Amino acid sequence: MNNKQLFSSGHTACSGCGQAIAARLVIETAGPNTIIANNTGCLEVFTTKYPESAWGVPFVHSLFENCAAVASGIEGALKYLGKKDNINIIAQGGDGGTADIGLQALSGMLERGHDILYVCYDNEAYMNTGIQRSGLTPFSANTTTSPAGAKSLGNPQYKKPMPEIALAHGIPYVATCSVGYLQDLQRKVKKALSIKGPKYIQIYVPCPLGWRHEPNSTLEVGKLVVETGLYPLIEYENGKLISVRKIKALPVEDYLKGQGRFKHLMANSEEIKKIQEIANNNIAKYGLKAEEAVSA
């Protein structure tokens, strides 16, 4: 057991930051024999402000969109040196760096078959630049570039189906997690790292500042999104759905009401109905309801 801190406290994340919790768990699960390549974003900024670093493992940040390619080069170098077998490589970024500007580099990494775990910390908007919408911003969310107004109900698009896009590359492991379920997160990271080849894990990480909820409700928000069916926790191995987290199927209002980014919807039952439909579709698609059987 290595007692060295792999992710030290003292970094500059906001209080209640879901990404900080998830990132710490990811690296503590992966252990010291891990190299991280990180996209530009909150995580990189709040952990590596020179001359300090929160990281107790080798860590490289290059640009916003290229961690998957940088990690591919690291993997190539370790293979060349004959050291790859004992070392994990994790490429990680936020939702914008993953689903938008970094999608091409990620697709290349997945297609080439590198032995790398890609982790997307999904806080559903560009938080580092001040809460602009990304491809993973949910329907109707109020962000600074998809503001609610007299002629707008917030983000008009639906979340880009990143897990399915990753899955379509035929990679051996794809999973979603939430900071609401930390043991599930640890189990999936451990499982992913036990498999050779490219792996994709997407972690739901609330952002109290950007979503406008209380910092002490991060884990609760992380549970509600799952329990309503808006963020199914799913796990695919070799293209087969091997697990889903069963849920209570709470009404989506229970999730929406605690967050300022959905405040404009509260008096709009039509709009809430559309969001309930998203949840219902997920519940049906993955068999999320506790009494239903898993349908692959």
Partner 1 sequence: MKEFLEGSIAVARVVKLCKPGVISAYPITPQTHIVEELAQIVANGELNSQFINVESEHSAASVVLGGSAAGVRVYTATSSQGLFYMSEVIFNIAGMRLPVVLTCANRAVSAPINIWNDHQDSISLRDAGWIQFYVENHQELADYHLMAYRLAEDKSVMLPAMVCMDGYTLTHAIDVLDMPTQEQVDKFLPSYKTSYKLDVDNPITMGPLADPDYYMEARYAIQETHKEVIKLIPKVTAEFSRVFGRSYNGLIEEYQVTDADKVIVAMGSVCGTIKEVINELRKKGKKVGLLKIVSYRPFPVSEIYESLKNVPKVGIIDRSLSLGSFAPLVSEIKAVFFGKNKKPAVISSFIVGLGGRDITKDSIRDVFGLMTSKEKACEFIDLKPELLKEEYE
Residues in touch with partner 1 (CB under 8 A): 32-35, 37, 44-45, 48-51, 53, 55-63, 65-66, 68-81, 87, 104-105, 107-108, 111-112
Q: Nearer to partner 1 by C-beta: 62 or 186? A: 62
Q: Nearer to partner 1 by C-beta: 6 or 192? A: 6
Name beta bridge partners: 88.
34
Q: In angstroms, rounded to a whole number, what is the distance separating the alpha carbons of residues 33 and 4?
A: 12
Smallest gap from residue 99 Cβ to partner 1 (A)? 16
* Identity at 290, one-letter amino acid code: A
Q: In angstroms, rounded to a whole number, what is the distance separating the alpha carbons of residues 287 and 221?
A: 22
Q: Nearer to partner 1 by C-beta: 127 or 175? A: 127
Smallest gap from residue 45 Cβ to partner 1 (A)? 6
Residue 221 tokens, joined:
């928000």
The closest of 199, 174, 201 to 185, measured between CA atoms, is: 201
Please, are residues 92 and 66 in contact by the beta-carbon 8 Å criterion? no
* Identity at 72, one-letter amino acid code: S
Q: Nearer to partner 1 by C-beta: 69 or 247? A: 69
Smallest gap from residue 168 Cβ to partner 1 (A)? 15
Q: In angstroms, rounded to a whole number, what is the distance separating the alpha carbons of residues 249 and 201?
A: 23
Q: In angstroms, rounded to a whole number, what is the distance separating the alpha carbons of residues 289 and 70?
A: 40
Q: Nearer to partner 1 by C-beta: 89 or 265? A: 89
Smallest gap from residue 117 Cβ to partner 1 (A)? 15
Smallest gap from residue 84 Cβ to partner 1 (A)? 10
Q: Nearer to partner 1 by C-beta: 111 or 214? A: 111
DSSP string, 85-106: GG-EEEEEEEHIIIIITTHHHH
End-to-end Cα distance, the chain = 38
Q: In angstroms, rounded to a whole number, what is the distance separating the alpha carbons of residues 73 and 34?
A: 15
Smallest gap from residue 57 Cβ to partner 1 (A)? 5
